[in-house]
Amino acid sequence: MKQFSLYIMLLFFFVANAQEKDSNLPDGNKNFVAKNYNDAEANYRISASKFPKKAIASYNLGNTIYSINQPAEAALAYAKAILNSKTRVEKHKAFHNIGNVCMKLKDYTNAVKAYKDALINDPTDDESRYNYALAKKMLKDNPPKKDDKKDKKKDDKKKEDKKKEEDKKKEDDKKKKDDKKDGDGKDKKDNQQPNGKPKPQEGGISKERLQNLLEAVNNEEKKIQDKINKNKVKTNPVKAEKDW
């Protein structure tokens, strides 16, 4: 079987003006080629800090960090390069290398996603296509383990919600029972004044009256709105001809 391809490419954008203004970038490229990775990393970091909106220094920094076996940190540099990328070519290479990082870390789920994004930006690349297929196979053979702690939290949350629902139902049933007793004149002896007349309800208004008031208010609002609409029709006569 063909071995997994580490398709790490040193990205040169060949922007002459940018290199004239940024001496650290070409110095970093020279150090990278010479495998002076510590110096290359320093050059690229300085370049990236001076020109934060450009993708090239971040991409080359990712390649450098990957070369010294720091894949997780390299992924951050590639992600920043994607954020600042202006072309599909730049995004394709950065996504591809994020896929390489994820494969190295055995994070096959995100490897599949990264290679897919790489192919979206360049569907013709054979390396990305092969690595995408390989990542899918590895994911199938090594499905992610279930997060037992996360599942337990979900189960606990469901149990808690169910208990709250049951408690609420019991409370509502009890309230309905008490209201029924109150309506029948049973078990509510404190509702009577000494002279035998009913005490006024708390809040000064019954539910029935409140409902009637709300309906009356709604009806009045409807009348007002109808009146406004009628006046609009009168004050805005329909034109007989269109204005051209």
Instruction: Kindly write down the DSSP assignment for every residue of 30-57, as one continuous string.
Output: HHHHTT-HHHHHHHHHHHHHHSTT-SHH
**Structural domain includes residue 166:** no
188 is a domain residue: no
Supply the CATH number for residue 40's domain.
Answer: 1.25.40.10
Helices (H), the chain: 16-21, 24-33, 37-50, 56-67, 71-84, 88-104, 108-121, 126-141, 148-184, 207-235
Residue 176 lies in a domain: no
| Cβ-based burial of 41 (10 A; exposed 0-12, middle 13-18, buried ≥19) | buried
Total structural domains within the chain: 1
Task: Confirm whether 153 is domain-assigned.
Answer: no
Reading the chain (244 residues) residue by residue, the pLDDT tens digits are 445 555 555 554 434 444 457 889 999 999 999 999 999 999 999 999 999 998 999 999 999 999 999 999 999 999 999 999 999 999 999 999 999 999 999 999 999 999 999 999 999 999 999 999 999 999 999 898 876 566 667 777 888 888 888 888 888 777 777 666 555 544 333 433 444 444 444 444 566 756 766 776 676 667 667 766 776 655 454 433 333 3
pLDDT at 158: 82
Domain membership flag for residue 231: no
**Is residue 98 one of the residues assigned to a domain?**
yes
106 found inside a domain: yes
Q: Which pLDDT value is given to residue 216?
A: 66
Kindly state whether residue 229 falls inside one of the protein's structural domains.
no
User: Which residue range is the domain that position 91 belongs to?
Assistant: 16-141
In the prediction, which pLDDT does 182 show? Answer: 54
